[in-house]
Structure 1
Amino acid sequence: MKRMKRMKAPFAAKRFVDEYFPHCQAALLAGSVIRGEDTSTSDLDIVIFDSRIEIAYRETHIENGWPIEVFVHSLTSYKTYFRSDAERARPSLPRMVAEGIVLKDSGVLSIIKNEAVGLLKEGPAPWSEQTLMTKRYMLTDALGDLIGTQNEAEALFIANTLAEAIHEFVLRTNGQWIGASKWIVRALKQYDEDFADRFVTAFQSFYKTGNREGIITITDEVLAPFGGRLFEGYSMGK
């Protein structure tokens, strides 16, 4: 079965908005297609602002040859999501709004975009001392598991845990937003391209050859400015 030929992304997105949300106050096209990073499986991320809705929601469609994810907000509900994203340090919606290209605007987008840009520039709130200690302990514990295990299957998933934890630790301790999935590497590259390359190399080496030294080295590197590995004396909830 042949795949439907795709319409160019901005035209497909505009047609979608006109058909499904003709009365909305504003709409944006965001995601990989506007950054020139789209692939054959990329979708269209569309953010809608509609004063008539009461509860924000998200849904998926396939239109004009494109899978589409649409994020629908009222003119106030987005603020709750901005706050939630800031608290988890993953600014998904603010990034989409800040980067998004305008598909429709009745005059409300400049304020919303300015809020998104301001939030992104501000960065996430710094960790408390207790949180920092807990994250050091968790990294130390996972690293110990990787060093000690002789089970190759277990080591694969310990390494996965370490990859996400290392990326979180180095970014949060430097006041940066974190990512998930493909955004782990993207977030690291935005902060420090050299570190991101060494991070990827360490994990590639492990997954290809089983060599754990690169992961051990990079874990110790990110922990060193904060006192190194932490096990003895760690306490929580006492």
Structure 2
Amino acid sequence: MNHLKKGNAIEAAQQFIAKHFPHCDGALLAGSVVRGEATETSDLDIVVFDNHRMTSYRESFIAFGWAIEVFVHNLTSYKQFFDEDYKRARPSMPRMVSEGIILKDNSFIESIKEEANQLLKKGPEEWSQQTIKTKQYFISDALNDLIGCSNKAEELFIANTLAELVSVFVLRTNRQWIGHSKWVVRALMQYDETFTQQFINAFDIFYKTGAKEQIIKLVDKVLESYGGQFFEGFSIGK
């Protein structure tokens, strides 16, 4: 699909904007090609600002040798996405705007970039103590499910759940942005490379051999600063 070289990503993006959004107010090229992390299956992520659009939308194209994901906003709708990303602690739109290469600009994109940069620098909202205890309980519950399980198929899904719970817990209790899919590891690496390698190794050993000891040690270490595993006294809705 990507018969154009990665170095031609900007040219392809500019051609795309000229054809499909010739009257837009501004556009950015973001994603893996901008970060120098493109693979053979990478697409182009393009953010378009068009003040004639009443609502924001997302659309996929095959054009100029690339798969292209376009995120279209007017000059105010992006703010809602910034706010929603802040609340869920996954800064997808702010990150795209911050890292994006400007393809077209009617003298306003730098100010939106500054908004994105300030939000990324601020970090997500701090968890309350109640939220921490609740997450601690569900991690403890998943860990004990894994320890007690002897069904290989069930173990795989319990481990998947535990990996997600632990990664989110570590990042959010340290006021770090979280991620989804490949961004889980990227978010962890940005926070603490040593811990991330321990995290990867523990689950890799389990998936390869079925041995749970390293996962147990890892989770107990994560929970140690919060009093360890938590069960007795947990309550919701009382």
> Where on the TM-score scale, by shorter chain, does this alignment land: which range?
over 0.9
Amino acid at match of 2:179: G
Which residue in 1 is equivalent to 2:173?
A: 173
Which residue in 1 is equivalent to 2:129?
A: 129
Which residue in 1 is equivalent to 2:4?
A: 6
- The CA deviation string for residues 107-151 of structure 1, in whole angstroms up to 9 with x for no partner, is 010110000000000000011122111100010000010000000
SS in 2 for 1:226: coil
- For residues 219 and 181 of structure 1, the distance between their equivalents in structure 2, rounded to whole angstroms, comes to 20
- For residues 3 and 131 of structure 2, the distance between their equivalents in structure 1, rounded to whole angstroms, comes to 50
**1:82-231 matches, cutoff 5 A:** 82-231=82-231
CA 1:74 to 1:129, structure 2 compared with 1: closer, same or farther past 3 Å? same
TM-score (norm 1): 0.97
- For residues 19 and 76 of structure 1, the distance between their equivalents in structure 2, rounded to whole angstroms, comes to 24
- Identity score, percent: 60
Amino acid at match of 2:141: D
Shift of 1:4: 6.4
Residues 2 and 40, structure 2, Cα contact 8 Å, conserved in 1: no
SS in 1 for 2:225: helix
- For residues 79 and 100 of structure 2, the distance between their equivalents in structure 1, rounded to whole angstroms, comes to 17
Cα RMSD, aligned residues only: 0.9
Which residue in 2 is equivalent to 1:69?
A: 69
Which residue in 1 is equivalent to 2:41?
A: 41
- For residues 14 and 33 of structure 1, the distance between their equivalents in structure 2, rounded to whole angstroms, comes to 14
Amino acid at match of 1:51: N
In structure 2, runs of 5+ residues without a counterpart are none
- The CA deviation string for residues 9-64 of structure 1, in whole angstroms up to 9 with x for no partner, is 11111110111111111100000001111111000000001100011000000001
The runs of at least 4 aligned residues of structure 1 exceeding 4 Å deviation read none
Shift of 1:5: 2.1
- For residues 235 and 203 of structure 2, the distance between their equivalents in structure 1, rounded to whole angstroms, comes to 30
- For residues 5 and 156 of structure 1, the distance between their equivalents in structure 2, rounded to whole angstroms, comes to 38
In structure 1, runs of 5+ residues without a counterpart are none
- For residues 168 and 211 of structure 1, the distance between their equivalents in structure 2, rounded to whole angstroms, comes to 23
- For residues 15 and 197 of structure 2, the distance between their equivalents in structure 1, rounded to whole angstroms, comes to 40
SS in 2 for 1:47: strand
Amino acid at match of 1:56: S
SS in 2 for 1:98: helix
Count of aligned residue pairs for this structure pair: 236
SS in 1 for 2:61: strand
SS in 1 for 2:221: helix
SS in 2 for 1:227: coil
